[in-house]
């Protein structure tokens, strides 16, 4: 039997109704075009698309999806053209293949930008046909199964991306069989020590756990037989990544996890589900707060089941899940379990379950920064959900942490912009109140409402609400505040003598926004433009992030120079003018981030292999240092016998860019007998020049005098001692 026959036989064992002829045709195309190509494992490349097709078949996908799975890499990686694909297999297959294809021909500035754009394209393709994502998930699953042949860095990157993006997407579609395997493989490579330790712990108690499960199953069967309820009962262990997360993030031991062992009871209908629940609660005592009714309130991915945790006869807790056969099918295969293309149905009620996808496509159009897109994607799509009710009893799903504002905009934009308050369970609450499962929400509106303010961007937690708020502000000509805020911050930073390109990086701005409960750099600018934030406070936070990065660079530099400096160690008092209390014969160096001089309050930091680094006590790097690092502080003091020594100190000057400026500045230094050790200058577009002068200074008194003198030079707007 050749490889194609084996593949076809495997498919027909899964589903004997597949269109064999069209699948054979696709197999031959893939075989021809991938001929001579090898995977990193050394095996023929064809193995990959074949395995992807098998995974898709196991999910119950249709003929065209299997064909697209076989051909998903041909257009990108071979000479097979999109036009030929359409001619051979039609527009539908071509759409699926194109949606899965990566953006390999485009060039991006960094890996994050490439990842964001790949996902944008995939989401757009998903909006046309959700099978694109299912193929992509199958592709990722097989790649993870064979990931050992990649480099260590590639393995880490792929596994992190899997946990952050693809496993949550599988969860959104309700394909838990795939989600669990993706997560476990990723964990095994990202934290192998924890993974294998967990496997060992679980395995050591396997026999006892199986015995307990069998006893429970027999007891339940006996009780349900008496009531003539037909059922199928199985036991299962929680998958490793789920256990790992609970142990790590909830700081729990393995024996403290209630649902490590679960009994699954599958019955014919919803009525029997609740009947079984009643029986179970009479047999064992339920743990309060551990009952969840996902039948009445399904999860966003359509998952339905009853969950309860009870105390067993031996005192150990265990979870029981109760569902119908139909629910179980959905729980295992998600949206693939009710595929709208089976039997040629063009429209399906399941489309409503993908509302989250349409919302994603709506807000992602307004996000230009890749980092912001990725962060918002993770928060909006993959966060836990809360289920609340309208006064009429309709269930509304929102991300955990949502507020009445998010609820209002979810109902309708007109309700959101007119919102002036809310009632939760009949009681008035502020619009920043955090909603909880089961709350009944009533939004109070007023025709006289002034509409959203910039502060609403701090309160709203969902991208949908924030997007609607921004649209309203723009319509009311209030969004000019964004441009105004950006201009204000840039001018402030320049006036303080900092380089805007260094300080106003997107990575700093987005982190800074989160300090003020804002979602993005755009919201940060808007808040500044409307007067909601002090420029000085924003600037100080940006400086902290800048210094964090610079400190990391210094540490890396220290390590690389460690060997060289080890040869140059001298007694501390011979050159530096600083002594370490009670210690002698140490290498002492002045930090470049704050350049202390006599008169400054100083502190020493014990570096790894490079002696003592001396900082000013008000140095941002010292103030923001993690608590565990502060244990390496050591008392130091200026050596009074070394008063005639000089020290480099950076002075920043903000001035009008005019002819003769440098000559005037140099003359001031010369008149005060201050040596200029270096000069760096950069002109700005607004006629302002930023100058950094490195001066040889003996003490803080001399610094104050030189600063005062330099401020008197014509055109100088500001002079201050450098902090970066």
Q: Which residues are catalytic?
A: 76-77
Q: What are phi and psi of 581, to 5 degrees?
A: -60, 120
Q: Which residue has the tokens 């997007």?
A: 467
State the DSSP code for 611: -
| CA distances (Å), origin 247, targets 106, 208, 310, 539 | 42, 21, 20, 39
Q: What is the 3-state secondary structure (H, E, C) of 465-516?
A: HHHHHHHHHHHCCCCHHHHHHHHHHHHHHHHCCCCHHHHCCHHHHHHHHHHC
Q: Are strands 261-267 and 317-324 parallel, antiparallel or unpaired?
A: parallel
C-alpha of 255 from chain center: 30
Q: Coil, strand, or helix at residue 667?
A: helix
Asked if 281 and 226 count as a contact pair (C-beta separation under 8 A), the reply is: no
Tokens of 418: 């007119």
Q: Coil, strand, or helix at residue 266?
A: strand
What CA–CA distance (Å, rounded) separates 679 from 668?
Answer: 14
Asked if 455 and 473 count as a contact pair (C-beta separation under 8 A), the reply is: no
How is 307-375 classified by DSSP, letter by letter? EEEEE-TTS-EEEEEEEEHHHHHHHHHGGGGG-TTGGG----GGGGGGHHHHHHHHHHTT---HHHHHH
The candidate with the shortest Cα–Cα distance to 588, out of 600, 576, 603, 574, is 576
Q: Compute how many other C-beta atoms are within 10 angstroms of the C-beta atom of residue 553.
A: 10
Strands of 441-445's sheet, edge to edge?
Answer: 427-429, 419-424, 441-445
Q: What are phi and psi of 344, to 5 degrees?
A: 70, 25
Asked if 310 and 280 count as a contact pair (C-beta separation under 8 A), the reply is: yes
Angle at 669 between CA 663 and CA 675, to 5 degrees: 110
State the DSSP code for 44: B
Q: What are phi and psi of 162, to 5 degrees?
A: -65, -45
What CA–CA distance (Å, rounded) separates 256 from 225?
Answer: 33
Q: Compute how many other C-beta atoms are within 10 angstroms of the C-beta atom of residue 635.
A: 12
Tokens of 389: 């009710």
Asked if 89 and 30 count as a contact pair (C-beta separation under 8 A), the reply is: no
What CA–CA distance (Å, rounded) separates 574 from 236?
Answer: 71
Q: Compute how many other C-beta atoms are within 10 angstroms of the C-beta atom of residue 38.
A: 12
């Amino acid at each position: 039997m050749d490889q194609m026959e084996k593949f076809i036989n495997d498919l027909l064992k899964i589903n004997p109704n597949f269109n064999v002829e069209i699948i054979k045709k696709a197999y031959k195309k893939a075989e021809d075009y991938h001929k001579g190509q090898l995977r990193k494992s050394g095996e023929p490349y064809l193995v990959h698309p074949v395995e992807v097709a098998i995974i898709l078949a196991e999910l119950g996908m249709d003929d065209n999806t299997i064909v697209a799975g076989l051909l998903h890499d041909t257009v990108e990686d071979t000479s097979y053209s999109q036009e030929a694909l359409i001619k051979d297999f039609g527009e539908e297959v071509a759409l699926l293949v194109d949606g899965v294809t990566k953006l390999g021909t485009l060039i991006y500035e960094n890996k994050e930008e490439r990842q964001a754009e790949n996902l944008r394209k995939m989401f757009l393709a998903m909006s046309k046909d959700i099978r694109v994502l299912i193929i992509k998930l199958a592709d990722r699953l097989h790649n993870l199964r064979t990931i050992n042949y990649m480099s260590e860095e590639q393995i880490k990157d792929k596994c992190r991306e899997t946990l952050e993006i693809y496993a949550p997407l599988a969860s959104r579609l309700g394909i838990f069989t795939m989600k669990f395997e993706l997560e476990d493989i990723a964990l095994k490579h990202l934290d192998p020590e924890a993974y294998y330790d967990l496997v060992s712990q679980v395995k050591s108690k396997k026999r006892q756990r199986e015995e307990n499960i069998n006893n429970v199953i027999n007891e339940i069967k006996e009780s349900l037989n008496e009531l003539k309820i037909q059922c199928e009962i199985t036991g299962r262990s929680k998958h490793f990544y789920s256990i790992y997360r609970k142990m790590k993030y909830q700081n729990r031991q393995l024996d403290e996890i209630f649902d490590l062992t679960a009994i699954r009871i599958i019955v014919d209908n919803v009525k029997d589900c609740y009947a079984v629940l009643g029986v179970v609660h009479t047999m064992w005592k339920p743990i309060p707060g551990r009952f969840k009714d996902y039948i009445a309130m399904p999860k966003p991915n359509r998952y339905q089941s009853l969950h309860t945790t009870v105390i067993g006869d031996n005192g150990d807790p265990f979870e029981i899940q109760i569902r119908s056969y139909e629910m179980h099918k959905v729980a295992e295969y998600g949206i693939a379990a009710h595929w709208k293309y089976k039997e040629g149905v063009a429209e399906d009620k399941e489309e409503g379950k993908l509302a989250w996808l349409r919302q994603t496509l709506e807000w992602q159009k307004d996000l230009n920064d890749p980092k912001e897109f990725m962060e918002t994607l993770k928060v909006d799509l993959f966060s836990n959900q809360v289920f609340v009710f309208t006064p009429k009893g309709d269930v509304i799903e929102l991300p955990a942490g949502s507020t009445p504002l998010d609820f209002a905009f979810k109902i309708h934009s007109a309700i959101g912009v007119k919102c002036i308050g809310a009632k939760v369970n009949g009681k008035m609450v502020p619009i920043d109140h955090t909603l909880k499962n089961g709350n009944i929400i009533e939004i109070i509106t007023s025709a006289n409402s002034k509409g959203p303010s910039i502060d609403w961007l701090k309160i709203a937690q969902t991208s949908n609400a924030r997007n609607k708020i921004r649209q309203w502000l723009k319509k009311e000509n209030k969004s000019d505040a964004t441009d105004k805020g950006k201009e204000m911050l840039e001018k402030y930073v320049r006036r303080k003598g900092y380089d805007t390109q260094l300080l106003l990086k997107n990575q700093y701005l987005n982190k800074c926004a989160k300090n003020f409960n804002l979602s993005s750099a755009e919201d940060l600018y808007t808040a500044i433009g409307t007067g909601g934030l002090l420029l000085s406070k924003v600037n100080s936070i940006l400086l902290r992030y800048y210094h964090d990065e610079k400190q990391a660079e210094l540490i890396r530099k220290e390590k690389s120079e460690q060997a060289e400096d080890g040869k140059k160690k001298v007694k501390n008092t011979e050159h530096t003018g600083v002594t370490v209390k009670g210690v002698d014969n140490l290498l002492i160096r002045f930090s470049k981030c704050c350049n202390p001089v006599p008169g400054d309050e100083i502190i020493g930091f014990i570096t790894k292999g490079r002696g003592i680094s001396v900082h000013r006590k008000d140095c941002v790097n010292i103030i923001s240092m993690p608590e565990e690092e502060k244990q390496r502080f050591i008392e130091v003091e200026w050596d009074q016998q070394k008063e005639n020594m000089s020290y480099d100190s950076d002075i920043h000057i903000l001035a009008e860019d005019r002819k003769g400026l440098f000559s005037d500045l140099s003359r001031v230094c010369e008149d005060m007998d201050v040596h200029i050790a270096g000069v760096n200058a950069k002109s700005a577009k607004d006629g302002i020049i930023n100058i950094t002068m490195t001066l040889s200074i003996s003490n803080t008194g001399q610094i104050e005098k030189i600063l005062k003198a330099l401020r008197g030079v014509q055109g100088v707007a500001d002079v201050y001692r450098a902090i970066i």
